Structure 1
């Protein structure tokens, strides 16, 4: 880096620290100045300014912080300090209120952007209406020419179903009891017995006994 570039970096960094008048680490200065100067340049300039007495170097644990020499600033009257503290408090409260309003507006905006637009709602309504009309047409066709099942016929079918399901459960239970008895003295696993005898299970065909 040339002498002119180094001088320019010194002036820029010193001007920034003077304007902000608060301690910063080298990384803070590097980032806050939007990386205009290289990280190595920032560290070198800060150390140089500290050696010249233009800024003060403070060690905070393992990290160094730099701040301008406060002796160059005039003493601030107590009344002005209190005024500034009150102003800071007022501004902090305004900031909290503004942040709360921002969060509320962001939530409202998110809700609005995630909702359907009027045009999208119209299209969706049209799709649903078409589906309803198709269902109505099917119902009308069944009512006009389809054969209806009377309550008596339905009851008869349900009783037959109950009878067959009951028989299914009974025979399944009997078969399992017989197989369990055989397995007590069978030298092979259950799967081998099923294969040897040629037994097909409900599970093999993904068949389940109706619960009702």
Structure 2
């Protein structure tokens, strides 16, 4: 069986879009990648396969055939098949983008959670507040300024990290929400993210 026949048979049997790498694996590497790409280009020129650019890669789907009897009904069927092929290509593109966002989300979730950072931040705020209350009973030159500066540095570091992760989380959620069919509130509930408003959190201590 020729390379053209093998590639066309694979696409026809599967009847959905594939990248050259997908076809390479699907054929158990019986053909080289360059041979597959050359074959796909030839099939596209013959209008037997549809090509679609998806970001940095191309995907291919077999063109649906219809009997050429010239009737209006057959013309409509052919147009529907073409639309189905186009929609299948778009669906493949959206699925690829969604999988990338999910991978980014999994990587983000492996880091300390927002609630953990909030708790650490709250603990530091409480500690600073207690120290300031204690300092009111002493002259300026009697308290340990070094300890105070250390705590404030730790607080600033945690606050900076919290703001950084909050921004990352917001950008990630916004990116996923672009292709999400439901509301943003439902998306947050589905992936288990709580906002500051949800937990009643506010920054209470400001350090100059």
Give the structure-1-normalised TM-score. 0.30
Q: Which has the higher helix share?
A: 1
Q: Which has the higher contact order (CA 8 A, sep 6+)?
A: 2
Higher CA-based Rg: 1
Give the structure-2-normalised TM-score. 0.31
